[in-house]
Amino acid sequence: MDPNQTCIINWNARSLISNLSEFKNMLYDRNPHIVGLCETWLTPRVSPVFQGYTFIRRDKGRGGGVGFFIRKDLKFSILDLGDFPEGSLEVMGVKVGFSFGWEDILMCYNSFKSGNCFTSQELDYYFDLLETPALVMGDFNAHHTYWDPHLTDRLVNRAGRVDFNSLLSHNLTLLLPLGLRTRIDPYRGDESTLDLCLGSGWFTSPSVISTEVSIGSDHLPVMIRFERLPIIQVYHRPRWSFKGGESKWHNYKQLVIHQDNSLYSIDEESDSITNEILVAGKNCFKLGPGKFGSKPRKPWWNDECSRAVAIKRRAYNKWKRCPIRQAQLEYRRLEAKAKKIIRKSKRLSFHSFCSQLNFASNTAVA
């Protein structure tokens, strides 16, 4: 990832837990600043943890749920949007600190499970709460020729018409290149554009916008890059490095020999001792930034996992080029095989790790 650009990903996960391993690989390889998710299918009892990211979400169980992964070195706050009365959209918003101020980012998901479609009044309610510049992402399940020119007018649905009219009335710009395919139908292989990205202000000028490789969902991750950077803050605590052998410890002990002074109060004596310890430590040891590498360890990911995922992706691309029943079944078979190999690798890695634990094990690793 270009360190001089902001990277934001919009993805319909269709069950985050089912696609967790491949999503984590993409997350740690791309290291995006923000990931907006919909259809997480999470419940309050399930709380996946991602090193270096804060996960905020609104759960709705199977078939719903929205959320954000935000890097821990970013300043942000959750927008208090409220809920539109009898609305159909699932929404969540954050306010992120950028170099020129705080910017609003909204994640939306429209589900047809209830049989209802969002209205223009509902979209206006949420859009009016945003301050310019703003970024709106999500799966609206909206079909319209404005972002999918391959459609005929007969296939334009109500959600597409409402979304298009609200886009015009609020001076929002469609960021997706025309015809960019974001979803592959898992049964027929039909391609469509459902995961939209809308922007106002400087968000209307992304430097790059493209889809990533499939990571398990029938929706492809949409990656957007902007030239402006968010405000980066240091979130890790400094740590002492005590390397150097007995000689450094000997020098340290000589420097911390404290002379008792009964003329001092208790507070003054405490401050004096603390200052002597810190000065001696800085003279003898190194105070590091506390950050040891940017990518978390994945001891369970091995060559067999990489091969299985690569073979699965080749089958997916073959099915995408030629959407016939035989290619679809082969892709499904290899997808199930890859998930089985990853689960087995995780299980064996955990058993191996536990079998090596003893009283001398490093507690920082354990």
From residue 100, give the alpha-carbon distance in Å to each of 103, 193, 355: 9, 32, 52
More confident residue, 257 or 222: 222
On the question of pLDDT at 188 being above 90, the answer is: no
Mean predicted confidence (pLDDT) in 14-42: 92
pLDDT in tens, 143-159: 999 999 989 889 999 99
Token pair, residue 309, equals 């995922």
Q: In this predicted structure, what is the pLDDT of residue 234? A: 58
User: Residue 297 — very low, low, confident or very high, per pLDDT cuts 50/70/90?
Assistant: low
Average pLDDT over residues 89-112: 92
User: Edge-to-edge, what's the strand order for the sheet holding 208-211?
Assistant: 53-58, 66-71, 34-38, 6-12, 222-226, 208-211
Q: What is the mean pLDDT of residues 179-187?
A: 89
- Region 308-318 average pLDDT: 90
What is the CA angle 184-186-192, rounded to 5? Answer: 25
* pTM of the predicted structure, to 2 decimals: 0.75
pLDDT tens column, 167-178: 889 989 999 998
SS (H, E, C) the chain: CCCCCEEEEEEECCCCCCCHHHHHHHHHHHCCCEEEEECCCCCCCCCCCCCCEEEEEECCCCCCCEEEEEECCECEEECCCCCCCCCCEEEEEEEEEECCEEEEEEEEEECCCCCCCCCHHHHHHHHHCCCCCEEEEEECCCCCCCCCCCCCHHHCCHHHHHHHHHHHHCCCEECCCCCCCCEECCCCCCEECCEEEEECHHHHCCCEEEECCCCCCCECCEEEEECCCECECCCCCCEEECCCCHHHHHHHHHHCCCCCCCCCCHHHHHHHHHHHHHHHHHHHCEEECCCCCCCCCCCCCCHHHHHHHHHHHHHHHHHHHCCCHHHHHHHHHHHHHHHHHHHHHHHHHHHHHHHCCCCCCCCCCC
Q: Does residue 114 register a pLDDT over 60?
A: no
Res. 16: pLDDT tops 80: yes
User: Between these two residues, 278 and 233, which has the higher pLDDT value?
Assistant: 278
> Is it the case that residue 166 has pLDDT exceeding 70?
yes
The domain limits of the chain are 6-226, 239-288, 303-355
Query: What pLDDT is stored for residue 240 in this prediction?
Result: 76
Residue 228's pLDDT band (boundaries 50, 70, 90)?
confident
Average pLDDT, the chain: 87
pLDDT(136) > 60: yes
Confidence class of residue 10 from pLDDT cuts 50, 70 and 90? very high
More confident position, 282 or 56: 56
pLDDT at 229: 81
pLDDT at 183 over 80: yes
Q: What average pLDDT does range 256-269 have in this prediction?
A: 71
- In CATH, what number does 6-226 get? 3.60.10.10
Is the pLDDT assigned to residue 193 strictly greater than 60? yes
Report which of 320, 313, 306 is spatially closest to residue 334, judged by C-alpha positions.
Answer: 313
Q: For the residues 246-262, what does the mean pLDDT come to?
A: 76
pLDDT at position 289, please? Answer: 63
- The CA–CA distances, whole Å, from 66 to 40, 89, 110 equal 6, 10, 10
